[in-house]
Amino acid sequence: MTNHSAVEEIVDAHHHLWDYDSPYGRYDLPELLADTAGVDGVTETVFIDCGSNYRTEGPEALKPVGETEWVAGRCDASDGGDAARIAAIVGHANLMLGAAVGPVLDAHIDAGGGRFRGIRHSGARSGTPEVVSNRGEPPADLYRRDEFVAGARQLCDRGLSFEAWQYHHQLGEVVALAREVPDLQIVVNHLGGPIGVGVWAGRWDEVHSDLRRSYVDLAACPNVWMKLGGIGMSRFGAVYRSGRPGAEEVAEVWGDTIRAAIDALGPDRCLFESNYPVDGQTIDYAVLWQAFDLVSADYSPSERADLFAGSARRVYRLG
């Protein structure tokens, strides 16, 4: 962190793990601990679903529970040392099962060893062939569908949160879900997903202007929170003067949008995330946190404490 920082603690609210080679390389517990050790103050992290180690046998609906089982072992392995520990797990379940998703959620809770906190079910449809999900294209208007809403209510019944991953032009779906299920805690991933490639290339000002208007709509829903990150993904279309930007350049490119989210929803409903290793496409782990420090420099110490740790602690019910 930079010298002016008053941040004493960081909770990395969003990262992945996999024990195999991928387009982003291998990213298992040793890689995570090496990254977090390079940033002062990272004490805890939150794992977010990425399709790792699903069960290969048994009912289709229960296969994602394998990821929670696997990550729970990584959580145990990260406990007790001086390094950051994985404190919470967000997995996946098919909320289109409606009320029938309940037993799947219960299986996740049982597998999580007291750390399971919620579900991410992607609704991201890019609208451009240059951005294709590696896990299949979801149906249109997923978050508005009756079956999905019924599944979301099962999360409420268990005190679990919902992680929304969609693109900027789909944020109206999140607003609709938040209004339909006001007791559901919704955490919007990656600044709402501002695409900057394909049909969206060269339209940065337009996309980010639309995004800021959506932040106002999201802020009107008290059950919505915003993750500030995802900014290293190439699909977001950021252009840097150098191949691997420094913190100052990252803050220059992304600062206005990040601050717009904070000012709309409030620091107590926003939380910084690394989205590692995916954001490692363009930005080093330590540089991300240095950039977040610069972007938030003018907020008060208590507001910065929320952005870097407090909000994540409340969302994921960390001790």
CA distances from 96 to 109, 202, 304 (A): 19, 35, 37
Alpha carbons 141 and 160: distance in angstroms, whole number: 22
The share of the chain scoring above pLDDT 70, in percent, equals 98
pLDDT at 267 over 60: yes
Q: pTM, whole model, 2 decimals?
A: 0.96
In the prediction, which pLDDT does 4 show?
A: 45
In the prediction, which pLDDT does 243 show?
A: 84
Alpha carbons 79 and 44: distance in angstroms, whole number: 10
Q: What is the tens place of the pLDDT at every residue in 176-210?
A: 999 999 999 999 999 999 999 999 999 999 999 99
Q: DSSP character for 198?
A: G
Average of per-residue pLDDT across 30-55: 97
Alpha carbons 245 and 228: distance in angstroms, whole number: 18
Alpha carbons 261 and 238: distance in angstroms, whole number: 18
- Band (pLDDT 50/70/90 cuts) for residue 133 is confident
Length of the chain equals: 319
pLDDT at 2 over 50: no
Beta-carbon count within 10 A of 6 CB: 14
Token code pair at residue 310: 């407090």
What integer best gives the mean pLDDT of the chain? Answer: 95
| Lowest mean pLDDT segment, chosen from 210-214, 239-243, 249-253, 264-268 | 239-243
Strand partners, 276: 15
Token code pair at residue 94: 């098919």
In the prediction, which pLDDT does 275 show?
A: 98
Average of per-residue pLDDT across 294-311: 98
Superfamily for the 10-315 domain: Metal-dependent hydrolases (3.20.20.140)
Alpha carbons 44 and 41: distance in angstroms, whole number: 9
List of long-range contacts for 295-304, beta carbons under 8 Å, 24+ apart: 295/251, 295/254, 295/255, 295/258, 295/259, 296/258, 296/259, 296/262, 297/4, 299/262, 299/267, 301/6, 303/267, 303/268, 304/5, 304/6, 304/7, 304/267
